[in-house]
Structure 1
Amino acid sequence: MADPLIHSPIARDTVVDTLVARLRADVLAERYAPGTLLPPERELAAGYGVTRTSLKHALVRLVEAGLLETRHGVGTRVRDYRRTAGPDLLPFLVTLDGPSWLVEIFAARREIGSLIAARAAEQAGDADRARLLALRDEIAAAPGGDPAQLAEAEVHRALAAASGNRVYELLVNSLLRAYDDVRHLFAAPFADPAAAARRITPLVEAVLAGNPTAASAYADAYYLCTERLMLGGDSDHHDARDDDRQGTADR
């Protein structure tokens, strides 16, 4: 029997993954300010307790992510991620500073979601409509919590697909992935699957009816309602803005 105190060496890929995560966090936290050069590789590798080979692999991945740029004879410079990175960086930003980023993610979720819903109402085909209805029913039939929440996420992917715009699909993926690791913190709207299905039904029906104005209004109201629930608010009381949206949708 092998000695339990003797472990196999850590795979290089594991070291690189860990190093990428640490470097990325330090860059995003501006431990290394945008526009500045990182310390020389030998010094940087020693500071993180890794080999220069592992460091080089990690730097390549952060260059590909748009966080760094390397120039021969100059060194590795920190880039301004707000100018060079894409939405795939959002999950890491949420991990680093969740509250401030989530406010903006929820705003983008509502605004982009309303646009997507309107476009889906205009473009949805029979297969799209059937998919939306099936997902609405899947939410209603799901056990409370994660299964209902995952089914609801698929509704948003289905709406983006129905819009006919592949960029919308990628944006929805990025927004959903932004808080996927902490989605258990936002499970309140899905504790009662039947209620969750009722909340999303007006949006689904507006898309099925081919009414972009109603779809946009109901999407906006839906996102506001679920956002309040996610953040601990009371969705059973609508403010005047919700009433205005409902009236717009009904016209």
Structure 2
Amino acid sequence: MEPLSRETIVDVLEKRLREEILDGRHPAGSYLPPERELADGFGVTRTTLKHAFGRLVHAGLLETRHGVGTRVRDFLRLGGADLLPMLVRHSPDWIGEIFEVRRSIGALIAERAAAGATAPQIAELRTLLAAVGDAAGGDPVQLADAEVHRALARATGNRVYVLLTNTLFNAYLPVRAALVGPFQDPRAARDRLAPVVEAVATGDQAAARTAAGDYLSATERIMLEGLAPAHGRRDDAR
């Protein structure tokens, strides 16, 4: 049984405006039509429109100036990584670019973790790796796997790597159901990740970087293969 939609008029309007902005119908730097004109066009009150504007300002897509109007923000020039979850939900094309960063950052994090991991951190990594193999399969394995990568980032001793790791997971975990392929078999998922943890545990930086690169490339390939049928279904629907 599917849950009932609880969208409000503000939710629908926000989504409509967001899609129009991200699709380029309102280019960066352009001003939206006057509020009264927009409200009449959408068949909503100006109060409803202001609420939707407020959300989009908070999301980083709009900026308002009293007495001037509401302008589309150039989010590619001024925005930050916090926009990624919204952009991925708008277009799966962003996933490929996220994975490219995931590969390069993930390999570097593994290398730095091998250089700096403490004994307690190594013990934590092994415990978290075991949890991947013990998880129930699918989504629980995927989430357990994510915790290993968060622990790897912490083992670098650099908090920026921790935040970057969180950012990448925040970007694609909301659509993780379509990326669950590598995590269906708990033991295979654990065995795929084990060389990374062991290289970090032995302090072998080169081996950790190589193992992480192999792991990230392999899981990316499986994830993208899983996304392909979904792309096909969407294209057929059009």
The structure 2 residue matched to 1:83, chosen from 77, 85, 97, is: 77
The amino acid that maps onto 2:79 is: A
Matched, 1:31 2:33: no
- Separation of aligned partners in 2, 1:132 and 1:192: 20
Contact 1:17 1:58 survives alignment (8 Å): yes
Residue 77 of structure 1 aligns to a residue whose secondary structure is strand
Q: Following TM superposition, by how much is the alpha carbon of 1:127 offset from its aligned partner in structure 2, in angstroms? A: 2.9
- Separation of aligned partners in 1, 2:112 and 2:44: 50
- In 2 relative to 1, CA 76–113 (structure 1 residues): closer, same or farther, beyond 3 Å? same
- Separation of aligned partners in 1, 2:199 and 2:133: 18
Matched, 1:227 2:220: yes
Instruction: Report the equivalent of 2:164.
Output: 171
**What is the number of residues matched between the two proteins?**
221
The amino acid that maps onto 1:76 is: T
Q: Rg bigger for which structure?
A: 1
Q: Following TM superposition, by how much is the alpha carbon of 1:20 offset from its aligned partner in structure 2, in angstroms? A: 2.8
The amino acid that maps onto 2:107 is: S
Instruction: Report the equivalent of 1:190.
Output: 183
Instruction: Report the equivalent of 2:14.
Output: 20
Q: Following TM superposition, by how much is the alpha carbon of 1:92 offset from its aligned partner in structure 2, in angstroms? A: 2.1
Q: Following TM superposition, by how much is the alpha carbon of 1:62 offset from its aligned partner in structure 2, in angstroms? A: 2.1
Contact 1:203 1:218 survives alignment (8 Å): yes
Matched, 1:66 2:64: no
* Deviations 1:1-32 (CA, angstroms, capped at 9, x unpaired): xxxxxxxxx89xx4434433332222111111
Instruction: Report the equivalent of 1:53.
Output: 47
Structure 1 residue runs of 4 or more that deviate by more than 6 Å after TM superposition: none
The structure 1 residue matched to 2:88, chosen from 74, 81, 94, is: 94
* Deviations 1:174-206 (CA, angstroms, capped at 9, x unpaired): 211222232122222112111111110110111
The amino acid that maps onto 2:185 is: D
**Alignment gaps of 5+ in structure 2:** 1-5, 227-238
Q: Following TM superposition, by how much is the alpha carbon of 1:78 offset from its aligned partner in structure 2, in angstroms? A: 0.7
Instruction: Report the equivalent of 1:4.
Output: none
Matched, 1:104 2:97: yes
5 Å matches for 1:137-152? 137-152=130-145
Scaled by the length of structure 1, what TM-score is found?
A: 0.81
- Separation of aligned partners in 1, 2:101 and 2:160: 15
Contact 1:35 1:78 survives alignment (8 Å): yes
Contact 1:65 1:85 survives alignment (8 Å): no
- In 2 relative to 1, CA 16–123 (structure 1 residues): closer, same or farther, beyond 3 Å? farther
- What RMSD in Å do the two structures reach over aligned CA positions? 2.0
The amino acid that maps onto 1:73 is: G
Instruction: Report the equivalent of 2:173.
Output: 180
Instruction: Report the equivalent of 1:122.
Output: 115
